[in-house]
Amino acid sequence: MSSSATAQQTKWWNGGRSPFNVEYGKLMMWYFLMSDAFTFGAFLISYGTIRFSQNFWPDPNVVFNAFPGTGHLNLPLAFVSVMTFILIASSVTMVLAVHEGHRGNRRGVIKWMAWTIVGGLAFLLCQAWEWHHLITGQHAVLANGKLELIGQTMANNPWGQLVDPTVAQQALAASSHETLVHLAHEYPKGTAASLPALEKMPNNQLLGMIDLEHVHVREKGPIAFGGYFFGITGFHGFHVFSGVIINVVMLIMAQKGVFDRRGHYLMIEKAGLYWHFVDLVWVFVFLCFYLV
Amino acid sequence: MDQHTSSEVTFHHHVPGEENVKRIWKTFWVLLIITIIELGLGLFLYATDFPSWLNLAIKGVIVILSLAKAFYIVSIFMHLGDEIRNMIMTIVVPLMLFIWFIAAFLWDGNSYKNLRNTYDKHFEERTTEKKGGH
């Protein structure tokens, strides 16, 4: 065949033995993951470039300090630790599924694939909560001499530098009725009055009811933060989502005995590579957005 | 499919046994402990006011720990360490591009900051970290 090709003809490798002793699909999965690593790398490096070009960047411990069901309690990095733990655990269940696949144990594959899917879904739920919390959060920022309430979005960043208390006090006096009502409800001196009652009060009365020390008034922070955070964690979340879909397909195929008929569980191995890559990317997303 | 595979794969890795499961769980604990150390260092940075060089050094340690995690995931969970050397090289050598990629672009960002601080005093006053508090 190929050895008898004439000199003018282009020679193509036409299969047979693999030079790397791996199946074609697995090798191509590796090369796809390598290219995907460059895509993620480019995103993260672009984020790094912008971050290095700024004199001030929000402290992740300040941005990511909320935990479901704990209100205003300051718990820096607690929730993202849970997310990281979930992803590491689901990586272990995946590699155990691959291990059972090597041994041709269908029941074992099904069991560990199911746990991997559970882990993936749990991670996505956590991410949905985190995004929702950041976007809908109401943080007091100093803007044009008064306080405004904004969330973390693509257009706004409420995590600038802390404002001097006397400046914050002056700005509070100039703020709108709605802002004062919200602050008096969320940060009351003593016990909070009900929202309808607060809405009826005049501004002067509301001013005396706000515990400004706990509001932590900040300036607006770098806008680029939102785009990079939602863009990169969103792209990672999309990978997790597609990984879950792939794993569900693998689970169904294993259940139906497709791999038993083929005589090998190489598809589980390839899905596993993709899943571990998602975990691998999270190591660096976690590093760049939450740790440093 | 089976025949296709058997002709491509010239020798099979031995069927993994209990020692493989042990290795997987060991790796899990290693990853977990490294993550906890990273979190500890991250919170340590938040809780204490260090001089900036020490801050940078601790961040450097966190980066190195993350690279160690990446090594464990790729080498053991993804079994790249068990493949033959040529294949490992075709994956790892192109990734060396990252060394230039990261250095060049962070350098670029830093240079942009310095230029703006030099020529745009308003930018510098507006954004430079004020003393006191996070």
What tens digit of pLDDT does each residue of A237-280 get?
Answer: 999 999 999 999 999 999 999 999 998 899 999 999 999 999 99
Average pLDDT of the segment spanning A112-135: 97
Answer yes or no: is the ipTM higher than 0.90: no
How close, in Å, is residue A193 to chain B by CA atoms?
31
Nearest CB to B83 within list A22, A24, A103: A22
Which is higher by pLDDT, A278 or B1? A278
* Tens of pLDDT, residues A215-237: 889 999 999 999 999 999 999 99
For B25, the closest chain A residue by CA position comes to A92
Average pLDDT of the segment spanning A142-157: 93
Domain co-membership, A263 together with A123: yes
Domain-located, residue A160: yes
Contacts of B95 in chain A (CB under 8 A): 34, 37
Domain co-membership, A129 together with A150: no
For B78, other C-beta atoms within 10 Å of its C-beta total 27
Contacts of B123 in chain A (CB under 8 A): 55
pLDDT value for B14: 63
- Is B84 in CB contact (< 8 Å) with chain A? yes
pLDDT value for A250: 97
How close, in Å, is residue A41 to chain B by CA atoms?
8
- Is B68 in CB contact (< 8 Å) with chain A? no
pLDDT value for B1: 39
Q: Per the CB < 8 Å rule, is B62 touching A291? A: yes
Structure tokens given for A248: 């569900």
| Lowest mean pLDDT across B6-20, B22-36, B58-72 | B6-20
Domain-located, residue A7: no
pLDDT value for B127: 83
Q: Is the pLDDT of residue B50 over 80?
A: yes
* Tens of pLDDT, residues B79-89: 998 888 889 99
For A198, the domain range is: 139-214
pLDDT value for A190: 82
Domain-located, residue B20: yes
Domain co-membership, B79 together with B106: no
Contacts of A260 in chain B (CB under 8 A): none
Domain co-membership, A112 together with A144: no
Q: Number of folded domains in chain B? A: 2
Domain co-membership, B20 together with B49: yes
- Is B30 in CB contact (< 8 Å) with chain A? no
Domain co-membership, B35 together with B80: yes
Average pLDDT of the segment spanning A50-68: 92
Collect all residues with Cβ–Cβ distance below 8 Å to A239 and sequence separation of at least 6. Answer: A36, A277, A278, A281
Cα dihedral across residues A168, A173, A176, A177: positive or negative: positive
Contact A269, A103 (CB under 8 A): no
- Is B32 in CB contact (< 8 Å) with chain A? yes
Question: Please, which pLDDT band fits residue B134 given cuts at 50, 70 and 90?
Answer: very low
Reduce the secondary structure of B58-122 to three states and give it as a string. Answer: HHHHHHHHHHHHHHHHHHHHCCHHHCCHHHHHHHHHHHCHHHHHHHHHHHHHHHHHHHHHHHCHH
| Lowest mean pLDDT across B16-25, B30-39, B56-65 | B16-25
Q: Is A150 helix (H, G, I), strand (E, B) or coil?
A: strand
Q: Per the CB < 8 Å rule, is A53 touching B112? A: yes
Nearest CB to B101 within list A45, A52, A276: A45
Nearest CB to B129 within list A103, A161, A273: A161
For B27, the domain range is: 2-84
Domain-located, residue B15: yes
Q: Per the CB < 8 Å rule, is A280 touching B70? A: yes
Residues of chain B above pLDDT 70, percent: 84
The mean pLDDT value of chain A amounts to 91
Structure tokens given for A173: 């006096």
Domain co-membership, A151 together with A83: no
